[in-house]
Every structure is written in C-alpha cells, then in structure tokens.
Structure 1
Amino acid sequence: MSRAALTKIVRPRTLQAPRALRPAVLSLVSHRATPNVTRPLSMSWKRSLATSSIKLATTSPVVQKKLDSFIPLIDFSKFLHGSETEREQIAAEILSGFQNAGFIYLQNHGVAPDAVRTAFATSARFFAEPDDDKLNLSWLSPESNRGYSARGREKLKRVGEGGGEDAAPPDMKESFEIGREGDPAFPNQWPRDGTMVEGFKDTMLGFYGLCRQLHGNVMSAIAVGMGLDAKYFESFISSGDNTLRLLHYPGVDASVWKNANAVRAGAHSDYGSLTLLFQDGRGGLQVQSPSGDFVDATPVEGAIVVNAGDLLARWSNDTIKSTIHRVVEPPAKEADSYPPRYSIAYFCNPNHSSFIEALPGTFATEDSKKYKGIQTGEYLVQRLTATY
C-alpha cells in the first residue's frame, strides 16, 4: 500500500511571520468580553453560557482544500489494530512527521468523542467559577506543577533547547494543571467536595487515564519507527509523571487585536517529550514552518494535534524537531468581540527519575551526542522555574 493511501495530508493556511514573534501586551486586556445584557449575570447563568459556547473541532472539505502540505493527518487505528506491515508503515509516517514538522494530526486515536466533550464542558464550568474560588487552588511551585494559574502569571519562552531564551510578557490565558494522582509529595489541588464544579475530579482523572494510555501508544509507534522494540520506552514512562492542562483564553474586545503585538499565547516550544492537544472549534493555533512562516493548525473533526517537545528532541539527538508554535487571534472578525477559546493539553514526560540521553541509532560516536544526559525531573524543574 502506498504512503499516500495510508496518510492524508492536512494543508494549513500559510501566514507571514513578521509580527509573529512579537509578544502579547497584556495591559490592553483588562476585562473579559461581556454578553450584550443590561443587568449583571448570575453565576449559574455564566456557567451555562461557558458550557454551551464550546464548539468542538469541525473542518469542512472546503477549508481543507485551502490548506498547505505541512502537518500530516494520520489514521492511528492502523497502528493500534492493523497488521504488522500496517503498524510499521504508520510508525514510519509518525516518525517522519515528527522529524520534518514536529507536529502531526492523529485520527482514530482511541479517546472517545464523548469523553472529549465531557472534559471540555467540565473545564468550561471550572473557569466560569469566581476568581477567588479558583485562586484558592493556585499553582504553588515548579516542583509540583499543579493547580490554577491566573491570567498574566505565565511568561513563555520564545526559544527552547540549544539557544538564547527570550522571555515574552505573560500570555492572555488562565490554566489549571493536574498531575499524577497519589503522589504524596505533590498532591493535586482539587476543589473540596460540594464546592465549585460537581464531578470535576472524577472527570479529569478519567480523562487523564485515557491520555496516559494514548501517550504510551504513540511512544510505542515512535520506537517502532526508530527500529527499536515496541516496548522500548515502557520503563521510561511507567510512572505516568505527566500533566493534564486545562486552558481558557478569555473572550476579548475586538479593539485588542488592533495592536500588532497582541497574541493569546506567545511563540514557544513545549518542554517535555510529547503534547497531546485537544482543540475546540475556534482555532488560533499556528505552527512555524521550515520557511519561518506560521501556518494554521486548523482544527480537524475527530483528530488531535500531537507535537514533539524539547525533551524528546534532546532524547533523539535532534533527529526529531520541537517546533515553535503560538496561539493568535481568530482569522475572521466576529462582531465587536472575539469569543473565548478552550483547549486541553496533555504534556507527556518520562518518569521524573528517568535518565535521558541520546537514543540508540541517533549518534555515531560519543562525541556526536549533542547533549549531556540529564534526569527528567531536574530538567523540567529548570524549565518551569524560568517560566513562572
């Protein structure tokens, strides 16, 4: 079977880069977009509005015809359930996508649509809660990397491994981090029973488990693509030291986007090994192409975006790319304001105790290793400390 028959290609719309890397100016954003009503909104009404406003990814054939050939769209069911030949072919396509683009779209990935919809609805209800209640669950330290981060706290780095790191001003978003449950040193920050969002903990732990399983399957595909045993990475990721991150980019007034520097999340690369990204239908994610331009990673119905992070690039001796990306304003003006954007990211890491050095087959001699070995936990704390 030809590679074209196995892998469809998603063709993102190319955008020029000159204002791409200029960071957001947060002083312009002092409030969220307000519905056109003359009386204050009750909290229950706001929660209902947040939940009902989420539109999950849909992409029409008309949109896809306008896209450029950069990020491959891969049917993962052929790796999960296919023949040995199909598994090897899909593994090769996945590895090629990470080596050339650093990003892939994954369809038929095994996370049920109902689970995704429930996670998004629950996330929206959480972010609709009063700020004071969310601040009671605040993110505390790089070591724990759990809890709520208000708008303006995070300052992303524009460049990852191997170069100078220019800190951008904080981004226009709020987030909530969930780590491995049951770690006595770093417990998760859950709302108390009977407060805030009903079923929040159970929903998010269930979704965390689904993402953890998908992480293992994608790492298995990478191993097969690299000519390693399919179980090569299992001992490196057995603890599940990953982070589920709920993200909310609040709605903003259209006047904000008149400023050329305004972006929802500045250009950056991710720190860990892989990121599994579930998007709503608003769009806004852009990926830097090899030419330096930014292209839209247009939401595709039923697919998730998976990208390689800095640690996987380091682990692969830079044979895999960790690609710069950002979140910008929507492509079309919507009345006097832009609606909120929601996404859910699952940041995948090796066990914090795992020692990471160049993988077999990625170097010819010891001198050709580009990086010294490092323990995952030490590496992540270094990166997170610089971010918050």
Structure 2
Amino acid sequence: MPGTIIPPVPHYEPAPATQEDLEFADLAIIDISKAKTPEGRQELAPLVRDSMRTYGFLYIVNHGLTQAENDRMSDIADIPLSHVSDEEKANFMGKMREQGVYRGYKPRQFWTIANGVRDQIESYNMHRRIFNQQHPKALQPFLPELRAFAEHNHYNVLHPILRLLALGLELPEETFVKLHNFDAEGETYLRFMKYFPRTEEDESKTKNVWMKGHTDIGTISLVWCQPVTALQIMSPDGKWRYVKQIPNAIIANVGDSMEWLSGGYYKATIHRVFQPPADQRGYCRLGLLYFASGDDEVRIVPMKDSPVLKRVGITRKFADEDAPTMGEWRRARTKVYGIPELLQRKDNVIEEQIVNGLVVKHYN
C-alpha cells in the first residue's frame, strides 16, 4: 500500500522559550496514557480530583501525539490567520453577537479590554466535526488532518479526563462521557488563536492585561502548550501566577459547566492572558485549543447521585428548575462577552455582568 501523502504547509516559527525568572503555579502533571487501564484510572483519579478541586488546572502528557505532529498542527493553525486575505476572511466571519456561536473568524479589536482599548486577538473557530462548515480555500487541503486532530482531542484526551472526574465523584466512569457525544448537537470546537503584540500605550491603559480574568463557559478546556508565556491563573491564595509552558503538553482546565455539574466540587478557575515576559515581547502567540461543552440539550444541574456530593454537600448557582442547558448558557455568554456597556464595575478589580440571571465576573 502506498503511504499517505500529506500536503506541504508553510512553517510557522514560534518564539524562543523565555529565560526570565517567573513565578509559576504548581500544577500536577498527569500521564494520560495510564488512563487506558482500570488500574491506571484508579491511580490517576485522586490526582485529577485534587487538582481540579484546588487549582482547576493540570498538565496532560503522553497524550499520543509526538512533538513533530504537534509542530505540524501549529503550522496548519497559522494558515487561516496568516495565509488568507482579509477579503476572503470577511466571508467566514463568526456570528458571536447575532447567534452566540463560535464558528469562523473572530477579528482583532472585537472585544473591549479596558479604557477603550480593544483586543489584538484573531481566532479561527471550527466545529469539532470540521466538515460541517465552510472553510477558506487555503485551509481546505488540511481538513482531514483537522478532523483527526479534533477526534484525538475528543476521544484520547477529553474522554479520559471526563472518566477520571467521574471517578473522583464516585460516579460510574461514563457519566460525563455520555454528555459529550462527538456527533451530537453542541458547540465543542477547535480554535486557532493568535495574539499580536500591542503598543506601549495600550499596555499602559490595560495594565498589561491582554484578556481579562475569566472562567471558561464549557466543561473542559484543552490548551496545547506553546512557547509564549502569558497565561496566568489566580491561585488559591488569590495571587496571579504564570502557567509554565511544557513542550508537547496540554493544559486542561475546568469551566463553568463542569463546576455546576459537579455541584461546586470541581473549580472553574479564574485565568487571564498577560503581557509576555521581556524576552518574548514583540512575538505573536499562536494557540491551539479544544473547548469542550456537553451536548446542547443537557441541563446543567448537579450530579445529585454522587456519594461524594452527598457527603460534602452541593453548591448551586441556580435552582435546578432554573438551570440552563449547555446550549442556552453557551449562547448567552458568547453574545455578551467583551461588550463594555453591559459591564458594571464592582470595584477597581472586578466587573460584573448579569447573564441569564447569573452574575458573571471579569477580573482586570
């Protein structure tokens, strides 16, 4: 049988790793290859449970892709952002404001950060099935690889983490997996995201914040590590700390929907993107992300059958009868994100929005 011929792709040259002395969050590293056996899952479950209860973040290694495969995907990720004309991009603009759906492009200067400064982030968002939306011509030769990459994230990374989170609540392993079907209605999506350097004036006006502190909308976010150190999380002691970029690792974090499904047991941690350290300024930051959400019709209510929750109690954001579905919550959050007119300043740090009756906080 002849070998599969993959199309050539222009190489994206990433920034060199920082050499600055930074304060990093102390996050657990999970060898996800161990999750293939019942014994391995029993070993990993307490580590994942404790990590997602305290930091809400952890690293995943041994996920099944090599560094070379990761590098190629980074090359492909830059195609829709750097090798498509503005005229063609205009045909694929997302409907975030109109429909609350992340598909297609989010242009730069779409969100407001602070003091009238708009973001310098461009992203291209793909539904996980890849082939069920139109794509720019330059990206089309790579669609089979993108579909394989989405499936890898979903089945080989997301599902094992969901099983471990279920075990942490002493629930059947497939409890959360059954809510995340690859072919169901829902907006789990693959995102390529590029942060561009900003002017010193914009840095001053925003106090070096590139994306405000926030929690994610969905259940689990998977962020593939890249060299530019800019992601920070709010640690349990209330201090911002950088997340170290480990080559060929994945950063996984809990979102709002998983916190609510777990009755507050797992933590949707506040995180932000901050100006990179001095030796990485002037470089772009190219990210590969897989944002998971449950099937659209799943109502976000706590797993009351969990023996753990029966022991420790449930923290609710909504009364069960008022809880939104995954689809309702995602659309509501997406439509209003980054609109300053909808924000009310709580103090010098926190801004608040009311979304579906729930107070959503943003941290500067």
Q: Does TM-score exceed 0.5, indicating one fold?
A: yes
Given the alignment of the two structures, is residue 377 of structure 1 paired with residue 320 of structure 2, yes or no? no
Contact 2:215 2:271 in 1 (8 A): yes
Residues 324-364 of structure 1: per-residue CA shift (max 9 Å, x gap): 11111111245xx5110011111111111122211132544
Q: Partner amino acid for 1:262?
A: N
1:319-338 correspondence runs (5 A)? 319-333=265-279, 338=282
The 3 A distance-change label for structure 1 pair 52 and 344 is: closer
Q: 1:343 aligns with which of 273, 287, 295?
A: 287
**Paired position in structure 2 for 1:54:** 14
What secondary structure, in the 3-state scheme, does the structure 2 residue paired with 1:227 have? Answer: coil
Alpha-carbon spacing, 1:251–1:167, altered in 2? closer, same or farther (3 Å): closer
- Say whether the 8 Å CA contact 1:269–1:309 is kept in structure 2: yes
Match for residue 150 of structure 1 among 96, 103, 107: 107
Code of the aligned partner of 1:115: E
Tell me how far 1:375 sits from its aligned partner. 1.6
The residue type equivalent to 1:288 in the other structure is M
The Cα shift of 1:249 comes to 0.6
CA gap 1:52/1:245 in 2 versus in 1, 3 angstroms: closer
Output one character per residue of 1:151-181: Cα deviation in whole Å (capped at 9) or x when no partner.
111358xxxxxxxxx9996422011111143
Quick check: 1:308–1:321 contact (8 Å CA) kept in 2? Answer: yes
Task: Determine if contact 2:15/2:283 at 8 Å carries over to the other structure.
Answer: no
3-state SS of 1:251 partner: coil
- The 5-angstrom pairing of residues 1-388 of structure 1 reads 51-55=11-15, 70-81=26-37, 84-128=38-82, 129-140=84-95, 141-154=98-111, 170-181=118-129, 187-191=132-136, 195-197=137-139, 199-213=141-155, 214-239=157-182, 241=186, 242-253=188-199, 256-259=202-205, 261-333=207-279, 338-359=282-303, 360-361=305-306, 363-364=309-310, 368=314, 370=316, 371=318, 372=320, 373-387=323-337
Q: CA deviation at 1:201?
A: 2.3
Tell me what 1:3 maps to: none
User: Which deviates more from structure 2 when the two are superposed, residues 339-348 or residues 252-261?
Assistant: 252-261
Q: Which residue identity lines up with residue 152 of structure 2 in the other structure? A: L
1:180/1:243 contact within 8 Å kept: yes
Q: Is the 8 A contact 2:234 2:240 kept in 1?
A: yes
Q: How many residues align?
A: 316
User: Is this contact kept in 2: 1:268–1:324, CA < 8 A?
Assistant: yes
1:169–1:380 Cα change, 3 Å: farther
Q: Distance in 1 between matches of 2:336 and 2:278?
A: 34
Structure 2 Cα separation of the partners of residues 235 and 218 of structure 1: 13
CA-CA distance at 1:79 after TM superposition: 2.0
Q: Normalization by structure 2: what TM-score? A: 0.77
Amino acid at match of 1:376: M
Q: Deviations over 1:188-227 (max 9, x none)?
A: 2312xxx334523223222111111121111011112221
Encode CA deviations 1:301-340: one digit per residue, 9 max, x unaligned.
2211000001111111111111111111111245xx5110
Q: Which runs of 5+ in 2 are unaligned?
A: 1-8, 339-364
| 1:54 to 1:355, Cα distance in 2 relative to 1, 3 A | same
Q: Equivalent pairs: percent with the same residue? A: 21
Post-superposition offset of 1:123? 1.3
Residues 264 and 327 in structure 1, CA contact (< 8 A), matched pair in contact too? yes
In 2 relative to 1, CA 155–80 (structure 1 residues): closer, same or farther, beyond 3 Å? farther
Contact 1:278 1:343 in 2 (8 A): yes
Letter in 2 for 1:293: K
Amino acid at match of 1:78: K
Where does residue 10 of structure 1 map in the other structure?
none
Query: Secondary structure at 1:126's aligned position in 2?
Result: helix
Q: CA deviation at 1:228?
A: 1.4
Contact 1:171 1:263 in 2 (8 A): no
Say what the alpha-carbon RMSD is for the aligned residues. 3.0
CA contact (8 A) 1:138 1:147 kept: yes
Paired residue secondary structure (2:217): coil
Unaligned runs of 5+ in 1: 1-46, 157-165
The whole-number CA distance in structure 1 between the counterparts of 2:81 and 2:90 is 11
The answer (yes or no) to whether the contact 2:264–2:314 under 8 Å persists in 1 is no
